[in-house]
Chain A
Amino acid sequence: MLCRVADDIFWMSRYVERGIAVGRLIDVVWHFELDAGDQEAGSDFWAPLLGTSRLAAETHGQPSASQVRHFLTFDQQNPSSLVNCIRKARAAAQGVRESISSEMWEQLNTVYLRLTTTGPSPSPVAEDDPQAFYQPIRNGMQFVQGLADSTLLRDEPWLFFCLGRSLERADTLSRILTLQAPLLQAAGSAGQDDVVRWLAVLRSCGAAEAYSHYYSLLIEPARVIEFLLLNPLFPQSIRFCLETAMNALEAIAGPVMLAGPTSGKGDLAVRALGLLEARLRHTAVDEVLEEGLESFLGDVQHRVQVVSEHVTAGYLRDEPQPGRLVAVARAAMIMATQQQQQRRWA
């Protein structure tokens, strides 16, 4: 498949996944506000999401919940706002419409049209009834993924879609956990407040129900971390995402792997991802806590970034066109013109 197309599908998939994560986060925090009962607690939870952003600076670190929600949803300058994720996903999809299924394109376009015709600016709909506003958007994006699962041929477009989704999911999860790392790290006795927070963390990773199935609902910090990072069965855990990404990448690299370790640029991506996946596969949660959650997650993020760069260099960028080729083409042109002139005088 064309490099440009692979590139667009990879990023379309990443933006769709990012959009889902942002939408889920907004939803979770809204619930958390209601549970916590006061706005203060809510904005405490929000604050880490903003990091060093412009909004944090403008509001001296004390933005209201609705300001934050607007920032995460509609802000044009926030590259990961919901609107921007969907816009970028849709723009990428538009350039590769012939390589994805019509159903996927129509679905993504419908979500885009819904959001852009409701918004922008502080949408009253989004504030009055967040559930009614965000739920269809998130469902719509998840529907895009479902359609990819059920309509794409299992060849390269699908593999790049999978790779993008899995890497993005691992990356997003590690970022959300990093923001809450101080809370999670302060393990030990769990007060009633903390249980609510941990539940919120699980929910923001879409993991609350799966966690309670797996461990019954006994909230222990170490278990929460183990579940989100290392669980082999939960499809949003970092380990699971990396395994999925690895499967996709090996299928993409294909015969290149058999030809030896130095056969291609794409091989660097396989090796980097393989090492990272092995680390997640063979690490125990105690070792993670010993190393420090933040440092462990920082390492994961860094390595995912490296994998992404190798994938880009190995598969998504074309071979450069040497200047020589232009010269060859020019010579052919001159030759042809001469032949034509000879014919004319003959």
Chain B
Amino acid sequence: MTSVPTDRRSTASDEMPTYDPDGFWDEMFAGPGEVRLHYAELARELATLGPADVARRQLAADHSFQARGITFAVNQGVEGIEKIMPFDLVPRMITPTEWQQIERGLEQRVRALNLFLHDLYHDQKILEDGVVPHELVLGAKGYRREFRGVDVPLGVYTHVVGSDLVRDATGAFYILEDNLRTPSGVSYLVENRRVMKRTWPQIFASYDVRPVEQYPQDLLELLLAIAPPIADEPNVVVLSPGVYNSAYYEHVFLAKAMGVELVRGSDLFVDDATVYMRTTRGRRRVDVIYRRVDDDYLDPLTFRQDSLLGVAGLVATYRLGRVSLANAIGTGVADDKAIYAYVPRIITYYLNEEPIIPNVQTFLASEPSDLKYIVENLDKLVVKSVDESGGYGMLIGPHSTAAEQEEFRQRILENPRSYIAQPTLALSRHPCWVDDHFEGRHVDLRPFVLFGRDVKVTPGGLTRVALRRGSLVVNSSQGGGGKDTWVLGSLPVARGEPATPDAPDPAAIAPALPASDTAHAAPLGDDA
């Protein structure tokens, strides 16, 4: 991966006199004081602001999230605890070239994974051909044998995908995991942009940022496209587990933006192989359900009998093709963390192409040779449980104690199928506003892919930030925050460049900087 050109003539922003990438790939800085070219305008803007102004805007942004109730409920906590996802004011930028790779790579991956799912639920050729081991698929928690032979509209299983990308120390992108069931976070993608425009409108003028607001319309179009043929005016609903679900805000956001009903399981019932919702004017047929309820809870007749979130008879109705679900049932087998290791081979098998975005190297505890390596190198690896998400059930080797490593060693040996391990990545970092200054924090990127009649990757993504210094865990349930993420339509045209590269003109870089603050101005490369 070629690195982005840097703006060596610019000084470091005066807001960041001591900022040092510390050897990590920093999204904004190529080295101490070396701002990457596409961030140069932003650095200038920041220099004109001054810390008090940055702090004020940061506070305004926080208030905006709180008042709008853009909150998530914390899992495993007391009912009704609502938190805002911490928002960092400095946008993360992605160049057109970088985005092109991401977009093509995600489309390739999503198409291959859907062919894989179709195959698994029909002929299982890939298993016959020995590319993916039988037992890995059939033993996966997400595999729904009941759905073998069922056809889904347009042959698409994963209508909404949120894959997590990371960059390593060289700046290369990797896919860290695929989320093919009910990925969340897209509301933050849209809301972060809205709050950003509200609190720091000026910065948008210098950049060609691709818009993200169209996401709900794209989603609605997709949902209408998968309606059963019997529905002439399809009725689309969003199915939510309710206000205590951690992503409830997002369910509200999507239902509202699409102009469809937000329903819970108790609002629906099945009669005569048709799904209805209970309305003030009697029953009304439902044709498409964008469900944010896991497979296990969808239908107490088929899956968990203790589920109060689902609808009795929904699965049978779905099988008969009289209601459509997005995403389809049984997609969890393809985002299983053990299957993940095989995705590059899956891409090559179905598409006869090389993966455009590589996987992170993955060791499977179910493979004897890998298992040996894992238990001997727990201090260097990140170990993940294949059945859990949200940053739970994880061991980060270099940050763990000997006792924790021993505990995981036992758990892995007892149940190898349940664990994978990956080398600890030096995730890329991005400057974040911490208390009263900027510090580097590790980030990832979750773009969203819609797959209906064609594949659409929303030009943006949720950049999640590990807000604790040095932490590699970005999940919002584990104290992660977010950033607005800008996919640039074109690179900014540099302006205000000094005449001679070796003699930067501070006045041109920080025209509005108060005189008293110029004392902090650090000459180029002072910290190197």
Q: Footprint of B on A, CB under 8 Å?
A: 1-6, 94-95, 97-99, 102, 105-106, 109-110, 113, 156, 252, 315-316, 318-319, 321, 325-326, 328-330, 332-333, 336-337, 340, 343-344
Q: How far is B319's CA from A98's CA once the two chains are assembled, in angstroms?
A: 30
Q: Is the CB of A97 within 8 A of B316?
A: no
Q: How far is B314's CA from A321's CA once the two chains are assembled, in angstroms?
A: 14
Q: How far is B65's CA from A110's CA once the two chains are assembled, in angstroms?
A: 11
Does residue B273 face the partner (Cβ distance < 8 Å to A)? yes
Binds A, one of B176-184, B277-285, B382-390, B405-413: B277-285
Q: Is the CB of A252 within 8 A of B301?
A: no
Listed by A's residue number, 18 A-B pairs whose Cβ atoms lie within 8 Å are A2-B263, A2-B267, A4-B266, A4-B267, A6-B280, A94-B69, A95-B243, A97-B69, A97-B256, A98-B262, A105-B68, A315-B280, A325-B270, A326-B301, A329-B301, A330-B316, A333-B319, A340-B149
Does residue B526 face the partner (Cβ distance < 8 Å to A)? no
Q: Is the CB of A113 within 8 A of B315?
A: no
Chain B residues within an 8 Å CB radius of A343 = 149
Minimal beta-carbon separation of A330 from chain B (angstroms): 6
Chain B residues within an 8 Å CB radius of A333 = 301-302, 313, 315-316, 319
Q: Is the CB of B271 within 8 A of A325?
A: yes
Q: How far is B71's CA from A109's CA once the two chains are assembled, in angstroms?
A: 12
Q: A4-B267, A328-B270, A328-B272 provided; 20 other pairs, C-beta below 8 A?
A: A1-B280, A2-B267, A2-B278, A2-B280, A3-B267, A3-B279, A3-B280, A98-B256, A105-B69, A106-B69, A109-B68, A315-B280, A318-B278, A328-B271, A329-B313, A332-B313, A332-B317, A336-B316, A336-B320, A340-B149
Chain B residues within an 8 Å CB radius of A102 = 68, 256
Other-chain residue from B148, B266, B271, B302 in contact with A340 (beta carbon distance below 8 A): B148
Does residue B46 face the partner (Cβ distance < 8 Å to A)? no
Chain A residues within an 8 Å CB radius of B278 = 2-4, 318-319
Residue of B nearest to A252 (CB): B280
Residue of B nearest to A97 (CB): B252
Q: Sort A-B residue pairs by CB-CB distance and give the 10 closest, nearest first.
A: A329-B313, A318-B278, A332-B316, A333-B316, A98-B255, A98-B256, A97-B252, A98-B262, A315-B280, A336-B319
Q: How far is B67's CA from A318's CA once the two chains are assembled, in angstroms?
A: 33
Does residue B483 face the partner (Cβ distance < 8 Å to A)? no
Minimal beta-carbon separation of A222 from chain B (angstroms): 42
Chain B residues within an 8 Å CB radius of A99 = 262
Does residue B146 face the partner (Cβ distance < 8 Å to A)? yes
Q: In the complex, which of the residues A3, A95, A325, A329 has the most CB atoms of chain B within 10 Å of its own CB atom?
A: A329
Chain B residues within an 8 Å CB radius of A1 = 261, 279-280
Residue of B nearest to A107 (CB): B67
Residue of B nearest to A94 (CB): B243
Q: Is the CB of A319 within 8 A of B67?
A: no
Does residue B312 face the partner (Cβ distance < 8 Å to A)? yes
Q: Is the CB of B282 within 8 A of A337?
A: no
Q: How far is B302's CA from A320's CA once the two chains are assembled, in angstroms?
A: 22
Q: How far is B256's CA from A5's CA once the two chains are assembled, in angstroms?
A: 13
Q: Bits for B450-482, please: 1 = Cβ < 8 Å to A, else 0.
A: 000000000000000000000000000000000
Minimal beta-carbon separation of A135 from chain B (angstroms): 20
Residue of A nearest to B150 (CB): A340
Q: How far is B261's CA from A318's CA once the two chains are assembled, in angstroms?
A: 16
Q: Is the CB of B273 within 8 A of A332?
A: yes
Does residue B264 face the partner (Cβ distance < 8 Å to A)? yes
Residue of A nearest to B145 (CB): A340
Q: How far is B68's CA from A106's CA once the two chains are assembled, in angstroms?
A: 5
Other-chain residue from B67, B252, B255, B272 in contact with A110 (beta carbon distance below 8 A): B67
Q: Is the CB of A330 within 8 A of B301?
A: yes
Does residue B66 face the partner (Cβ distance < 8 Å to A)? yes
Does residue B207 face the partner (Cβ distance < 8 Å to A)? no
Chain A residues within an 8 Å CB radius of B67 = 106, 109-110, 113
Chain B residues within an 8 Å CB radius of A329 = 270, 273, 301, 312-313, 316-317
Chain B residues within an 8 Å CB radius of A340 = 148-150
Q: How far is B421's CA from A104's CA once the two chains are assembled, in angstroms?
A: 48
Chain A residues within an 8 Å CB radius of B252 = 97-98
Q: Which of B295-351 contact A (CB under 8 A)?
A: 301-302, 312-313, 315-317, 319-320
Q: Which of B63-109 contact A (CB under 8 A)?
A: 66-69
Does residue B39 face the partner (Cβ distance < 8 Å to A)? no
Other-chain residue from A106, A109, A325, A330 in contact with B269 (beta carbon distance below 8 A): A325
Q: How far is B264's CA from A337's CA once the two chains are assembled, in angstroms?
A: 27
Minimal beta-carbon separation of B152 from chain A (angstroms): 14
Chain B residues within an 8 Å CB radius of A315 = 280
Q: How far is B149's CA from A252's CA once the two chains are assembled, in angstroms?
A: 46
Q: How far is B279's CA from A316's CA once the two chains are assembled, in angstroms?
A: 8
Chain B residues within an 8 Å CB radius of A95 = 242-243
Q: In the complex, which of the residues A315, A318, A343 has the most CB atoms of chain B within 10 Å of its own CB atom?
A: A318
Q: How far is B315's CA from A3's CA once the two chains are assembled, in angstroms?
A: 24
Residue of A nearest to B254 (CB): A98
Q: How far is B146's CA from A328's CA once the two chains are assembled, in angstroms?
A: 19
Q: How far is B263's CA from A98's CA once the two chains are assembled, in angstroms?
A: 10
Q: How far is B255's CA from A159's CA once the two chains are assembled, in angstroms?
A: 21
Q: How far is B280's CA from A113's CA once the two chains are assembled, in angstroms?
A: 32
Minimal beta-carbon separation of B258 from chain A (angstroms): 9
Q: Is the CB of B149 within 8 A of A344?
A: yes
Once A332-B316, A332-B317 are accepted as A-B contacts, the answer to whether A319 and B301 lie under 8 Å apart by CB is no
Minimal beta-carbon separation of A204 from chain B (angstroms): 31
Chain B residues within an 8 Å CB radius of A332 = 273, 313, 316-317, 319-320
Minimal beta-carbon separation of B241 from chain A (angstroms): 12
Chain A residues within an 8 Å CB radius of B277 = 2
Once A325-B270, A325-B271, A328-B273 are accepted as A-B contacts, the answer to whether A319 and B149 lie under 8 Å apart by CB is no
Minimal beta-carbon separation of A146 from chain B (angstroms): 17
Chain A residues within an 8 Å CB radius of B262 = 98-99
Residue of B nearest to A315 (CB): B280
Q: How far is B264's CA from A6's CA once the two chains are assembled, in angstroms?
A: 14
Once A1-B279, A3-B279, A329-B313 are accepted as A-B contacts, the answer to whether A321 and B148 lie under 8 Å apart by CB is no
Residue of A nearest to B263 (CB): A2
Chain B residues within an 8 Å CB radius of A319 = 278, 282-283
Q: Is the CB of A321 within 8 A of B315?
A: no
